[in-house]
């Protein structure tokens, strides 16, 4: 990540300001209170918004209702611009919506959405969104010197907790705590499930008793089925005898129905014959009327061109008309521009004077003549188009009449066919009437011997008695079957319940095993892993801390290291001494070495973060001697960052940085000295 530019609007001591950051080492120079640190706080706000001790009230300039920060920066070869805004409402200052620009595309975002975008872009862990979003940024990129001294002087537990969070080591503790909580929950489930399977043996005993009872009822059901089968055979035999008699009766009834049907059909045929003759007589005048309409259409003359041919011509002429209109408009624009140049005597674009006025005017006149010619041609084309459109209307009218004539021709053919059909239908009708009259006379003779058989009534009585006996046997069978089904359902229900309880029993054993494994092994393993990771981090951290401290402090009798709790241990002449007893310059050296060690270890261990090229040091040399100032130059060379921004009022730093940006504050307003 490289910072490129920050723009401020009503931020602290600034009204408006724009600061560009080049690559290399950059010094923000100026007196105390001139607004140097405000620039860094503004960049911090642009990236992460209001959080922690960075409040909106501390950023927005007194007496102003709104403020904004806009930051340009590069990440991974791409350029981004983020803008955040502040608004005073009642007695508080709040963030309002802002935006992010990438590859020329602007995306409006809420404060929370912008924070998530930046975390993802910089490769910071997503869980940081729920905590201190800028925590990694604080201790890898920008940590005020006094804040770092506060970390060194913090209580051991607070400092160690910060280290755990910075390096993500605290997750092992959370995992162990979650595992303990889960093991406790499993033990509760074990107690709950133990009660759920207490009656498992009783359920198995009940299943055995019901199985014996079901076997007994199934045997009884089998005997009942055999009786029903025998009775059913007797019923079917009697039914067959009845069916044979019923066929004779049905034949007589059918004959009666057939006679009535034929009589009705005969009457209908007579009516149909009269209707057909009347319809035949009505058709002739209708055919004559249609023929008159056909004769009228034949008098019309068919158009020479088709509709498509006329449409194509209209389209071609309209295209030519548009081209001439476009050309005329273009010429008129040129004439207007050239007339303005002729009037002024000089070109407004290239500032070249008109050398030959007469020749220049002649060119304008030629273009005007061409415009007039184009107008005449466009008018002629419009007349042709209007004429063709009238021809299209005539074709449409002719097409409508042609379709109507086709319909009349078709109706004429249909009526002629219908007339022939009516004639044929009438002949067929008369033939059917004659044949039907003969059948009716034959059926009337057959129905004279119709009687209901006494034998059928006797056999029907015997059949009803057999069927009643069969239905009684079936009721007995159904009752036994219901008992068998009920017993089967109860057995299946018990089997399902037993299986469920046996599954619960297996789950119970699994829960016991998981609970034991979590409590006896897993939580201890997390503690061991955390200690190993912390030891590795401390070893690397201490090595880098001692390296930077030795470069910044020239006193060979004075040494410093970082213990297992990341506390600074200072020794002078082989004896431990309190950090607070050191001189101001020595304490600053300790804080700077601690700061640089944190930066390097975090950047080395967390490969995905994309802020490794940037380092910001806020007043890193407070109390330094001249020799220590020289050592700072060696430290910067050793760091070899792509961009290092230093805030300081020490003039000597100017001698070994690439760029110096100076700030002054006048009448309560900060600005950059150009």
**Beta-bridge partner residues of 98:** 109
- Start-to-end Cα distance in the chain: 26
CA 635 to chain centre: 49
> Mean pLDDT of all residues in the chain?
83
pLDDT at 409: 77
Q: In 128-199, which ranges are continuous DSSP H helix? A: 135-140, 145-152, 156-166, 170-196
pLDDT at 82: 96
More confident residue, 274 or 647: 647
Per-residue DSSP letter, 90: T
Of the listed ranges 68-82, 265-279, 450-464, the one predicted with least confidence: 450-464
Could you read off the pLDDT of 210-235 as tens digits, one per residue?
Answer: 888 888 878 888 888 888 888 888 88
pLDDT at 72: 96
pLDDT at 437: 77
The mean per-residue pLDDT over the stretch 583-606 comes to 86
Can you give the pTM of this predicted structure?
0.52
Could you tell me the pLDDT band of residue 1, with boundaries at 50, 70 and 90? very high
The mean per-residue pLDDT over the stretch 179-183 comes to 77
The answer to whether residue 254 scores a pLDDT higher than 50 is yes
Could you tell me the pLDDT band of residue 195, with boundaries at 50, 70 and 90? confident
pLDDT at 129: 47
pLDDT at 232: 87
pLDDT at 446: 62
Q: How far apart are the C-alpha atoms of 66 and 9, rounded to whole Å? A: 8
The answer to whether residue 85 scores a pLDDT higher than 90 is yes
pLDDT at 458: 80
The answer to whether residue 638 scores a pLDDT higher than 80 is yes
Could you read off the pLDDT of 416-458 as tens digits, one per residue?
Answer: 787 777 778 777 877 877 777 777 777 666 655 455 567 777 8
Could you read off the pLDDT of 123-169 as tens digits, one per residue?
Answer: 887 654 455 556 777 777 887 767 778 888 888 888 888 887 777 77
Calculate the alpha carbon distances from 39 to 14, 30, 45, 86, 663 in Å: 9, 12, 10, 16, 10
Could you tell me the pLDDT band of residue 14, with boundaries at 50, 70 and 90? very high
Q: Which two tokens stand for residue 221?
A: 């059901």
Can you give the C-alpha Rg of the chain in angstroms?
A: 54
The answer to whether residue 522 scores a pLDDT higher than 90 is no
Range with top average pLDDT, 86-90, 197-201, 281-285, 413-417: 86-90
Q: Which two tokens stand for residue 36?
A: 């140097």
Calculate the alpha carbon distances from 278 to 212, 266, 411, 423 in Å: 87, 19, 20, 11
Place of tokens 């548009």: 322
Range with top average pLDDT, 257-261, 315-319, 482-486, 661-665: 661-665
Instruction: Say whether 142 sits in a helix, a strand or coil.
Output: strand
Q: What angle do CA 277, 278, 283 make, to 5 degrees?
A: 100
Domain boundaries, the chain: 296-435
CATH architecture of 296-435: Orthogonal Bundle (1.10)
Most distant pair of Cα atoms in the chain: their distance: 150
More confident residue, 265 or 14: 14
Could you tell me the pLDDT band of residue 83, with boundaries at 50, 70 and 90? very high
Q: How far apart are the C-alpha atoms of 614 and 643, rounded to whole Å? A: 5
pLDDT at 29: 92
The mean per-residue pLDDT over the stretch 538-567 comes to 88
């Amino acid at each position: 990540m490289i910072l490129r530019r920050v723009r401020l609007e009503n931020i602290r001591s600034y009204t408006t300001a724009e600061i560009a950051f080049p690559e290399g080492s950059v010094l923000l120079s100026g007196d105390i209170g001139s607004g140097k640190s405000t620039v860094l706080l503004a960049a911090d706000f642009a990236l992460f918004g209001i959080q922690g001790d960075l409040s909106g009230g501390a950023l927005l300039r007194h007496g102003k209702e709104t403020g904004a920060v806009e930051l340009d920066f590069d990440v991974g070869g791409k350029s981004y611009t983020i803008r955040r805004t502040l608004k005073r409402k009642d007695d508080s200052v709040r963030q309002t919506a802002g935006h992010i620009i990438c590859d020329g595309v602007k995306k409006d975002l809420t404060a929370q959405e912008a924070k998530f975008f930046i975390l993802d872009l910089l490769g910071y862990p997503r869980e940081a969104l729920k905590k201190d979003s800028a925590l990694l940024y604080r201790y890898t990129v920008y940590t005020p010197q006094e804040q770092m001294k506060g970390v060194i002087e913090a209580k051991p537990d607070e400092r160690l907790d910060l280290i755990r969070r910075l390096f993500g080591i605290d997750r092992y503790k959370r995992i162990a705590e979650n595992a303990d909580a889960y093991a406790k929950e499993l033990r509760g489930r074990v107690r709950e499930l133990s009660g759920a399977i207490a009656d498992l043996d009783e359920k198995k005993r009940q299943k055995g008793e019901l199985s014996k009872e079901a076997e007994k009822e199934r045997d009884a059901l089998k005997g009942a089925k055999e009786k029903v089968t025998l009775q059913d055979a007797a019923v079917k035999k009697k039914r067959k005898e009845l069916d044979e008699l019923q066929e004779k009766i049905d034949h007589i009834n059918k004959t009666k129905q057939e006679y009535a049907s034929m009589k009705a059909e005969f009457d209908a045929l007579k009516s149909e014959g009269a209707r057909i003759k009347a319809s035949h007589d009505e058709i002739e005048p209708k055919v004559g009327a249609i023929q008159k309409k056909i004769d009228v259409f034949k008098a019309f003359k068919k158009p020479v061109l088709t509709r498509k041919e006329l449409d194509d011509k209209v389209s071609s002429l309209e295209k030519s008309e548009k081209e001439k209109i476009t050309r005329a408009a273009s010429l008129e624009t040129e004439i207007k521009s050239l007339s303005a140049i002729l009037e002024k005597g000089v070109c407004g674009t290239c500032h070249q004077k008109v050398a030959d006025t007469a020749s220049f005017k002649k060119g304008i006149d030629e273009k005007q003549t061409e415009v007039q010619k184009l107008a005449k041609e466009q008018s002629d084309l419009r007349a042709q188009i209007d004429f063709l459109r009238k021809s299209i209307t005539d074709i449409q009218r002719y097409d409508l009449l042609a379709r109507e004539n086709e319909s009349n021709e078709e109706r004429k053919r249909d009526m002629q066919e219908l007339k022939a059909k009516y004639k044929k239908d009438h002949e067929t009708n008369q033939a059917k009437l004659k044949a039907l009259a003969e059948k009716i006379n034959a059926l009337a003779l057959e129905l004279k011997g119709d009687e209901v058989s006494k034998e059928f009534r006797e056999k029907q009585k015997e059949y009803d008695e057999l069927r009643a006996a069969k239905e009684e046997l079936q009721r007995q069978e159904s009752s036994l079957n219901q008992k068998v089904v009920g017993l089967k359902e109860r057995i299946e229900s018990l089997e399902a319940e037993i299986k469920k309880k046996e599954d619960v029993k297996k789950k119970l054993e699994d829960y016991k095993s998981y609970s034991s494994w979590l409590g006896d092994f897993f939580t201890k393993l997390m503690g061991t892993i955390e200690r190993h990771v912390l030891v590795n981090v401390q070893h690397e951290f201490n090595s880098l801390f001692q390296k930077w401290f030795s470069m910044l402090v020239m006193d060979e009798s004075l040494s410093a290291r970082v213990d297992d709790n990341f506390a600074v241990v200072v020794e002078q002449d082989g004896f431990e001494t309190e950090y607070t007893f050191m001189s101001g310059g020595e304490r600053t050296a300790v804080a700077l070495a601690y700061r640089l060690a944190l930066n390097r270890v975090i950047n080395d261990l967390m490969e995905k973060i994309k802020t490794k090229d940037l380092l910001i040091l806020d007043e890193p040399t407070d109390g330094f001697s001249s020799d220590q100032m020289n050592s700072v130059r060696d430290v910067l060379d050793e760091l070899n960052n792509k961009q290092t921004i230093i805030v300081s009022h020490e003039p000597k730093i100017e001698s070994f940085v690439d760029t110096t940006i100076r700030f002054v504050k006048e009448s309560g307003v900060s600005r950059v000295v150009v």
